[in-house]
Structure 1
Amino acid sequence: MHSADPLFLPFVRALKPTVRALLLAALAAGVGAPLPVAAQAAAVRHAFAVPAGPLDQAVVRFGRQAGVQFSVSGELTAGRSSVGVSGSYTVAEALARLLAGTGLEAVEANGEYTLRPAPARGEATLATVQVSAAEIRESAYGPVEGYRAERSGTATKTDTALRETPMAIQVVPQQVIKEQQATRLADVVQNVSSVRPGSTFGNRTDSYIVRGFQSSLVAWDGFISNQLFGNPGFVDMANIERIEVLKGPASMLYGLGDPGGLLNIVTKRPMREARYDLAFQAGSNEFQRVEADFNQPLNADGSLALRFNGASQNWGSDRDFLRRSHRDYAAPVLGWQIDDATRLVVEYEYMNQSQPFDRGLVASGDGVVGVSNRSYFGEKWSRFSLSGEQTRYVLEHKLDATWLLRHTGRYQESESHRLSADSRGLQANGRILNRRATDGRDDSRQWTAQFDAIGDFTDAYIGHKLLFGFEAGRAEKNTRVATAALAALDVFTPVRGAMPGVFGTPTVSEQEIIHRALYLQDQVWLGERWKLLLGLRYDDAEQNATTDGTRVSVSDGKLSPRFGVMYDLTDWAALYASYARSFKPVAEAAFDGSVFKPEMGKQGEVGVKFDLFERRLGLTFAAYELKRRNVTTADPVNTGFSVQTGEQRSRGLELDAVGELGGGWRVLASAAYTDAEITKDNTYAAGNRLPGVPLRSGSVWLKRQVEHGDWRGLGFGVGVFAAGERQGDLGNTFKVAGYARTDVSLSYQRDDWKLTVGVKNLFDRDYIEAPVSRTEIYPGASRTVLATLDIRL
């Protein structure tokens, strides 16, 4: 099963976690700090398509497209060339690109721009508005000022304005995560339309439902998690800069994946200035957490820096008889800004977690069994533990003003152990729950390497941003599972203390995915209003599965196209349409021994994006239809085998709003209509709704920050998170009621400290957060209070 590993893997695996962290610290001795986020020079954005060429001609074309006047000296521009500019930018941002490498800057006075030589560093300048190549806008890979992100790299793997991305993508920044005191990924995704919490697989890891389809895959800085099972454990919030949700199939950039969408976690990067932050949290159910975020430049100009994020968390539960949970997390980020054109970033993450194994409640009849949401059907010995680590690096080199080369790599490994009391369903009397004990161990590892070339240039009046890429990787998972008898439990009057019987012979399985891919993408600007996105990827994937000596191998190559188009109706409204596909190999064989085709996803989407109130508020409205094909379903003739005739379909409408309303008010709101159903299956009826997917759902979070007067520093927020009725399984044998949960927050900030007190589920409603099956139904938490003290040292 194991073919030759990359040269660096034996060395990496040989190091213990602590030694590895020290090595990384010594290796990089700092991280190339991302360019700082500057205030935007103007509120209005324009579409530019200025080709490279003589500077005097470029300036004339720029002035026409921007609608501004220039005073230009022929002697000053003689012999100088411009690299051009293409895309949607403010005048300041576009001028910075137009003048890059010319040694000139633009000075604005009374609405007219004048070119002049850029002053030497440190030289005094006139008190006028100046725009030079040093002007920097928000980065797609850095922090977001406020609630509304302007740019993202998730949908294109390039630094692109969200306004120019012809698909639905939403960004939840760190500020929202902190203000809502989110401690789980599920707390964050509830802010985005058509995204719901999914199964936790027994309180082990995160999953989510996007546009009707569940996925456990998460990307970290553009690297997809292990394709065999997703992230090995729960995501910790300590190192997160922003969480981005790309709706719909993402195989054109990320390869093997699920059709509904993808969550990409953008992690924190070092800064040029020193900063030391501590956070202390305490709350209901004995919740305790300490978090650190330290940034230390290692030389005078900050080009070498070290940032460390870490957390230790202990917490109980409102569920009866559930033991405490614990998690430790550490993430040093290291690197080197080698010169103006070359940057290296190295990041290491370590996590250790231990918590009770818990699949929640069970179904009875056509609803949830009539017990308290706090009921727990496991035993005290029922636990899950995990130890995992990953290393990522990014090496970038800018060849010239047009081309950027980027090489990235990731290695991840984890070990986990599960000793669990599993619910197996109620007996006919509706009160005695059959159970089984399971002893399972999982070992996994993954490596991925990517090589990209990005070209940003203009040809005549057509702007291009080209992406060429190659990717190769392997994901492995080895599992050993044994089961034993376990006494049944009366769910209404539970008596605990049962112990497992003798465990049987374990089932041993080994799985691996080996993939290689080539991809090409072109972002095109046609004049001032039209934008195109064209992409194509070819994946060559091999999936092998061996269970108790029986091996099934599937090899297939697939093309994943994607294209989109945008048209700017005005400076504040743009229409878009897009088409995308996904694929995922199926490591399973039919009765006749034939292998199955990859599972396919196809989506068509149209929408409109608005920039309102001088671009302080952004709105995205989307309509889509998404089909999932080649779904395996039970073979009606040969029991225990499958045939590939299943099909599922989701179509819906979405609205997301984010930004500032004025007067210190900020908003993050969403609404969704999701019609997700089975359209073809041998086991379940066509027309059955997909589990856990409400027809209607939505959220709104409002935050008011007092910025002036005697109450300056005071803030308060209120949020409502709602979902309609949901089916509990594919058979639609039971359903759970809808709910509306209210959260509130009160904060006060002064100088270098901030105190936040929040209440989740203010009215203590009983509700079901995620129904998965008749024996896996996750209740929402009861009212909880959480206080956070943030201190900057």
Structure 2
Amino acid sequence: MLVPALARAEPVAPGEDGDAITVTGVRQPYRGDFALREIPQAIATIDADVIQENAILRLTDALDLNASVTRQSTLGGLWDSFAVRGFAGDENLPSGYLVNGFNAGRGFGGQRDVAGIERIEVLKGPAAAVLGRGEPGGSINLVTKQPRLGRTFGTASLQYRSFDTVRADADANVALSGAVTTRVIAYAEAGGTFRDTVDQKRWGLLPSIGVGLGDATRLTYDFEWTRVEVPFDRGIVVLDGNFDTVPRSRFLGEPGDGDTVARATGHQVRLQHDFDDRWSLLVGASHRDTRLTGASSDAETLRSRQKLYVDGRSLSRQRRTRRYTSEHSVLRAEIAGSFATGALRHRVLIGGDLDHFDTDQVFTRYRGPVVTAATTDRAGYVLDLANPVYGRFPRPVTTALTDRLDVQRMLGGYIQDQIAVGDRLHLRIGARYDDFRLRVDDRLTRVTGQRARGRISPQAGVVYELSDAVSLYAAYGEGYRANIGADAAGTVFEPEVSRSTEAGVKLVAPGGRLTGTLAVFGMAKSNVLATDPLNPGFSVAIGRARSRGVEVDLTGRLPGGVDLLLSYAYTDAEARSRVLDPNFSFAIEPGDPLINVPRHNLNMQAAKRFAIGARRATLGAGVQHVGARSGETGTDFMLPPHTIARLFGEADLTDAVTLYGAVANLFDARWFANSYAPVWVQPGTPRTATIGLRARF
């Protein structure tokens, strides 16, 4: 079932069959030792069981299960991009996320596979005093599957899904001795997609080792080695608001461009030591290298260069190549403990981190001329939408548009104290100091820009427990995040500054059978990057934005043994600055909605577990509704709302073998995942069926 994130276990009642339903809690890095009801923050968790029963394979699809998270433009399907509570980061980079509490999601390693994920924590709201450097809407933390000391077990599965896609994966936990255990997770996937001529290959190897150094100390090492090969795909075009301009399967690039390849190699090591039952130390380090290379043929976005707006069928295109690499190293340490001063009980976190992040981007482009009566189809690299002929023209020669090295050196320290005043009242105060050293080497202009900044970000919160089941909370926090890059003069951008407030009610029903959160929030941030109107390919940091809304998250088990998931968010996210977006020649005005953020987002799911003879089975259904949202910054182009239904189920064939299946987009709704412009609209996947076998040992 999907359960709230816990730093320690909440009590849980017996199940309908008399067996105890156990929600185990693990003290998480940088989170402290707190029960859900004591935390002045909305938190939701998507666990591995929910991901598995829905036959979800990608992080992007898993995040759809929480309504506070919405999809953003994904660079043609080559990286993860999402907004939490309406705020996303730099649209020219993938969204960052945490892995086991470490900043580890940056870079160009392709869309994250769900293999090896134990649960996904959606840490909403003002948490920057401890986590630091994230978006004010919240942070996504992936908790990976760890070696379980002294045990040997495993699973393997083989599945087939629509569009002739085959996937195999395995997870083996092997005790080498009483104190040393290894866990190896691997997956491989290949096949087609619903997009014409677009096939994909993905594989990954995720081994880890756990070592018990006595009863109070544990050392864990994780390795990541992944690869994605898929054509770059900007999606379809929408002409004059007609979403049926082309079939959703129509590929508008060039198959001859081949695959874009994304690679990632990562290491993470963590050492936890418990001094006693009140104080513990956690130290760790991670390093991750990524690389993305490939070429693409993309629809021209500038109206004056686009022949489609002249004859309604001739799509002018650009040709682009990319070579993006990154190196990311993190070192973190934290002491957590508790003590009393008179009648007050303190639970403190004291820690620091060192973060090095380098990105090297080489980007080249061919762009056709302004369309006139004399402009040839070859000059415009045109594709006929009604009768596409791939490879009709020689590939245009590209020239360098970006050739830049961005270097970030960041040092941070934080302290947090949560004070229990009596049995019901909890006060939280904290602060984080960040020191940034940023350098941008532009090899085209031969200009080097540098900037050094430091800032303290405070945090405060209060929780009042009305009863064992209901608590009220409120929180305020500030954030500080480095903007990557420099303007055309080589001046490095100022960091982004944010302020967030949140208040709500938390429910933990007797026995922990039902948990929920109702939250209201408001956020604002400044130094948001906007496109430079005079220098294509550069940005200026002049933007401000605001988001506010209401959320409801409810999970648990209803009478009759039905597991329930309900997540709803109303989000009003808008620009607060007047700027010019020269890519499309439209002015962005205060009050314009932020791109790809719906006001209404809902996900519901119910699953019933039952027996067929002596075998266990599950049958469930879910629905997602996403409201209308802006499909282009600064215009009235909107993506239509959509509602998607799904079915899933599984049944044990033997004690060790399970047959499972799922159908996504059950009624084959036509929907659109995200958009950057009317000529770059990503169509959603049509009805997709999955069937597979899973074996346990």
- TM-score relative to the length of structure 1: 0.78
Secondary structure (helix, strand or coil) at the match of 2:355 reads strand
CA distance in 1, matches of 2:218, 2:540: 50
Q: Does residue 672 in structure 1 map to residue 576 in structure 2?
A: no
Aligned to 2:54: 180
Deviations 1:281-327 (A, max 9, x none): 1110111111111011122xx321111111011131111222x2111
Please give the residue correspondences for 1:94-109 in structure 2 after superposition, counting only pairs within 5 Å.
Answer: none
Please give the residue correspondences for 1:603-682 in structure 2 after superposition, counting only pairs within 5 Å.
Answer: 603-612=500-509, 614-633=511-530, 644-682=541-579
Aligned to 1:356: 231
Q: Does residue 218 in structure 1 map to residue 97 in structure 2?
A: yes
Cα contact 1:484–1:500 (8 A) shared by 2? no
Offset of residue 764 of structure 1: 0.5
Offset of residue 399 of structure 1: 2.3
Aligned to 1:494: 388
Offset of residue 502 of structure 1: 2.2
Match of 2:212 among 334, 337, 353: 337
Cα contact 2:108–2:292 (8 A) shared by 1? no
Offset of residue 645 of structure 1: 3.9
CA distance in 2, matches of 1:182, 1:618: 24
Cα contact 2:107–2:325 (8 A) shared by 1? no
Please give the residue correspondences for 1:734-745 in structure 2 after superposition, counting only pairs within 5 Å.
Answer: 734-745=637-648
Aligned to 1:546: 441
Secondary structure (helix, strand or coil) at the match of 1:160 reads coil
- Name the Cα RMSD after superposition: 2.4
The amino acid that maps onto 1:491 is L
Aligned to 1:520: 415
Aligned to 2:261: 385
Aligned to 2:112: 235
CA distance in 1, matches of 2:454, 2:436: 6
Q: 1:640 to 1:280 in 2, by over 3 A?
A: closer
Deviations 1:524-549 (A, max 9, x none): 22211011222111010112112222
Q: Does residue 566 in structure 1 map to residue 463 in structure 2?
A: yes
Match of 2:185 among 309, 315, 327: 309
Offset of residue 586 of structure 1: 3.3
Match of 1:434 among 309, 313, 316: 316
Aligned to 2:361: 479
Aligned to 1:449: 331
Please give the residue correspondences for 1:127-138 in structure 2 after superposition, counting only pairs within 5 Å.
Answer: 138=24
Q: 1:474 to 1:641 in 2, by over 3 A?
A: closer
Please give the residue correspondences for 1:123-162 in structure 2 after superposition, counting only pairs within 5 Å.
Answer: 138-140=24-26, 153=28, 156-162=30-36
Aligned to 1:292: 170
Aligned to 2:143: 266
Q: Does residue 465 in structure 1 map to residue 465 in structure 2?
A: no
Report percent identity of matched pairs.
31
Cα contact 2:408–2:439 (8 A) shared by 1? yes
CA distance in 2, matches of 1:262, 1:39: 22
Match of 2:153 among 259, 269, 275: 275
Please give the residue correspondences for 1:14-93 in structure 2 after superposition, counting only pairs within 5 Å.
Answer: none
Secondary structure (helix, strand or coil) at the match of 2:527 reads strand
The amino acid that maps onto 1:542 is R
Match of 1:714 among 604, 613, 617: 617
Q: 1:231 to 1:468 in 2, by over 3 A?
A: farther
Secondary structure (helix, strand or coil) at the match of 2:194 reads coil
Secondary structure (helix, strand or coil) at the match of 1:251 reads coil
Q: Does residue 252 in structure 1 map to residue 138 in structure 2?
A: no
Offset of residue 747 of structure 1: 1.4
CA distance in 2, matches of 1:252, 1:38: 21
Cα contact 2:107–2:327 (8 A) shared by 1? no
Cα contact 1:544–1:587 (8 A) shared by 2? no
Aligned to 1:557: 454
Q: 1:337 to 1:204 in 2, by over 3 A?
A: same
Q: Does residue 693 in structure 1 map to residue 693 in structure 2?
A: no
CA distance in 2, matches of 1:757, 1:137: 26
Offset of residue 364 of structure 1: 2.4
CA distance in 2, matches of 1:162, 1:40: 8
Offset of residue 256 of structure 1: 2.2
The amino acid that maps onto 1:461 is A
Q: 1:599 to 1:742 in 2, by over 3 A?
A: same
Q: 1:249 to 1:338 in 2, by over 3 A?
A: same
The amino acid that maps onto 1:237 is V
Secondary structure (helix, strand or coil) at the match of 1:371 reads coil
Aligned to 1:68: none
Cα contact 1:552–1:587 (8 A) shared by 2? no
CA distance in 2, matches of 1:524, 1:652: 29
Aligned to 2:292: 416
Secondary structure (helix, strand or coil) at the match of 1:437 reads strand
CA distance in 2, matches of 1:320, 1:363: 18
CA distance in 1, matches of 2:284, 2:486: 35
Aligned to 1:752: 656
Deviations 1:473-497 (A, max 9, x none): 2111112222236711122322212
CA distance in 2, matches of 1:137, 1:785: 31
Cα contact 2:469–2:510 (8 A) shared by 1? no
Aligned to 1:81: none
Cα contact 1:140–1:160 (8 A) shared by 2? no
Q: 1:745 to 1:682 in 2, by over 3 A?
A: same
Q: 1:315 to 1:561 in 2, by over 3 A?
A: farther
Larger Rg: 1
Q: 1:542 to 1:775 in 2, by over 3 A?
A: farther
- TM-score relative to the length of structure 2: 0.88
Offset of residue 776 of structure 1: 2.5
Match of 1:774 among 678, 682, 686: 678
Match of 1:704 among 603, 608, 612: 608
Offset of residue 248 of structure 1: 2.6
CA distance in 2, matches of 1:639, 1:287: 40
Secondary structure (helix, strand or coil) at the match of 2:406 reads strand
Offset of residue 555 of structure 1: 1.4
The amino acid that maps onto 1:444 is S
Q: 1:239 to 1:455 in 2, by over 3 A?
A: same
The amino acid that maps onto 2:237 is V
Offset of residue 594 of structure 1: 6.1
CA distance in 2, matches of 1:762, 1:588: 43
Offset of residue 727 of structure 1: 1.1
The amino acid that maps onto 2:188 is S
Cα contact 1:703–1:718 (8 A) shared by 2? yes
Structure 2 unaligned spans of 5+? 1-6, 15-21, 90-94, 368-379, 581-587
Secondary structure (helix, strand or coil) at the match of 1:191 reads coil
Offset of residue 417 of structure 1: 0.7
Aligned to 1:531: 426
CA distance in 1, matches of 2:151, 2:492: 56
| 623-632 or 709-718, which deviates more | 709-718
CA distance in 2, matches of 1:505, 1:208: 29
Q: 1:711 to 1:673 in 2, by over 3 A?
A: farther
Aligned residues: 648
Aligned to 1:57: none
CA distance in 2, matches of 1:408, 1:679: 40
